[in-house]
Structure 1
Amino acid sequence: MSSSAEHTKLPLPQYLKLLTNGNVPVAKAMAAAGKIYKEHGSPSQLALLTDFKLKTAGIEDAADRKLILAAFRKAGFAPKRKTLKRTRDDQSEESAEKPSSSAGQAGPSSPSHSTATTTQPTSPTKRRRTQTKSGGSGSFDFNEVLDEDILKSKFIVVNRAPVMTAWATVVAERLNFKREEALSIASVYTEMNAVSKGITLGLYDKKKEQGLEASTNGAQPYVELIGRRVPVYRTQDEQWRALSNSNPVSPMTAFGYLSRSFQQSLPHVIGTMRLLAESYDPSELNAKAWILYTSFRPEIDQWGKKSQLFCSKILALRKTERNSSQTLPVNSASQNPTVANVDSESNHPPTSTTFTEEGAHLSLEEYEAALDEDHTFDEVNLDFSEPQSNDASKDS
């Protein structure tokens, strides 16, 4: 295969055939392609595809990821093995670990030295793996930047969908949800808005919206977030996870999406949003979060087109001390988030944790197309010195 062919994206029908020829069911092949084709559509990109990348792309089920990888490997898209060359540093470390020549050649270990010789240091790679597994929210660290002097000059060209997901995550955390909980809730919140807008635009059937939002008259526990009722359930380790089509949504879905969308700008964007959120009381923030979002989101003049998100614009929306009559409360681990119907009998674990075969979850392109088409509030003067109505449409 020529160098240019390796970097040329495969036709989608051929891409799907690779999966189905590898025993991936058609429905799952289509669902997977919707998540990975954009970023891993060429032979060179497929050769670099890993289980972690599949999980980051939103394919949650381990068996599905294994089947997809096996199909691509069967088709010949496997990483090229490289012969590792020893560097001077490696040789120096090895020399340092060996006994000096004055000590002579090593013989059998004596009992008095057995304890010392069997305890070996953990390699840096292994340490990183251990920290990732046990780190909890540390595994989803934004490394956010909070220095206003640095932030005010930053901007990024991006679609609206990841901006909404990032903002919903920050608002959920301000409401005392843990990082993993906030990411899961934000992912479903963004999907709800994309589906609603897609129905308004005639992109989806109205049936697609059924069951997405919790009912106030039902028994399903839910979270009131920025005007939406996001259904949730409590896991065995006492954490909340949002539900989409009765399936729990992993925090990795939103975290991977945000990491891909913002890349190196993620610490600046989250940091800026954090400063805005912290300037409001949690309940007031939740009530005004939608209007705040519509005033700093990228200005889109064409479907699917990216636009600029300015950190300075977000910072300018902070509530000043002059307008605040009380000291802003600080989030405390002892404060519990508010969840409606928390004692409901319907708070049982979902029956399935695999991604749906019918493509109920929107693809990245569907999220962005639906949300970028929305122009609600584009011509509205959002003057916070005047009383605001909270009944604004939540279509995007």
Structure 2
Amino acid sequence: MNIVIYCAVVFVSGLSLGLALSTAEAKDNVEGPGPVIERATIILTNNGPGLVGSTVTCFARLVDDDGNDLGAGEYVYIWTDYDEHPSTDASNATTSNYTQSYLKAEKRTVEVSVTNKQNSLFYATNKTFFNVTEHLTGSLEFSQGNNSTNLNKNIFETNQSLEIVANVYDPSGYLENADIVYEWNIADVYQLTTFNQPDIVYNFTMPLQYDVGVNITAFVPGLEFYSKKIGYFTSLIDLKDKISNVLISGSFKVSEGETHNYTVTWEGSLPAYLCSRLHSNSTCEGATDECNPVMQYNHSATIEFRFNDSGTHCLSVNVANDVSNFNVATNIKVKQVLPHQKAIAITVGIVFGVFACFISILLVAQQVKRSRRRHVEVANFDFQEENHNKTFKKFAKNVKNTYKLVSKKVAKDGKEKAEYKPLISM
């Protein structure tokens, strides 16, 4: 069986519960009045640091190998506080208390041993350590409504009331009758003094980091005079603007098979986390499910989607930061492309390509014509010039007629056949 002893130190002021754990083994098969202990272990704890003038209380508890309380027995707890006189507590219980007041700042060590009351056989022993300080210890605590979206306990939203509380650690109640002055300082831009009021409310309007501090002076009443205790608590907090005005811009009527880019813009503190999803649910229900956020360091981002299926799709976007998140969604109608429409689109492309070639040929022909005219030395001796002009005019007329027929074919969605005419006839 094991023996476990918890030693809790009670003091006037401390920031947190200090924990000192250790184990010690006793002699095997120790017999005598009470339970037979084969093995013993003592674990000590304390709630240091303690404040000068406060009291310290140690608490011991005995347990077995499985962590269960031992049965009643004739135990003797011997507490040793070194320069203090040893304290002895004979008890049949598995718990024991030790209380002491400290009048100077120093490191303290408390030891406890457990023996058998009848034969003084030794069970186990162990030590615990804590500090006694001159200054108040504690912390600043911040709360702002429902800030469950915060990724960090020291990040808060601007333009919202923020409650700031100065917590002085005082488990023994040493400061219950004290008069306490709180001198608040927020980033050297706001100062306030409160009397016996450990909390204030402040509204931060700018998204910045702020150093919040408070000087505390406690006047503790004594038998003949007040005892003055001081302390200073500080904390760095980050104020951010929430996400707002999220907008999606792009084409909301597209054809299947197309790829489109969409631009998302927003306002709020950076970095932000962008999450987007395209799905076939036109009501946008469950829009942000299965969406992986991407960190953004600008107030805009471009997302790309390919539309493979026709119908009404939902494009949902979520933008979030450490203090808020904003959801926006929009419907995109995807038009089905029929096979004959695809053929017409290809035909139109080919026709316009041919037409461009005709224009190029026409321009070349005109250039050749001008060139030939510049080289005629005797105008009336070139009997083929007149035939050349007639041929060129007929060629230009045929090009023009062909263009009209092609345009008419395209306008009637390819239902009329274009009449064939040679571009050049002799």
- What range describes the TM-score normalised by the shorter chain of this pair? under 0.3
TM-score (norm 2): 0.16
TM-score (norm 1): 0.17
Identify the structure with bigger relative contact order (alpha carbons < 8 Å, sequence gap 6+).
1
Higher strand fraction: Structure 1 or Structure 2?
2
Whichever of the two has the greater Rg, that structure is 2
Higher helix fraction: Structure 1 or Structure 2?
1
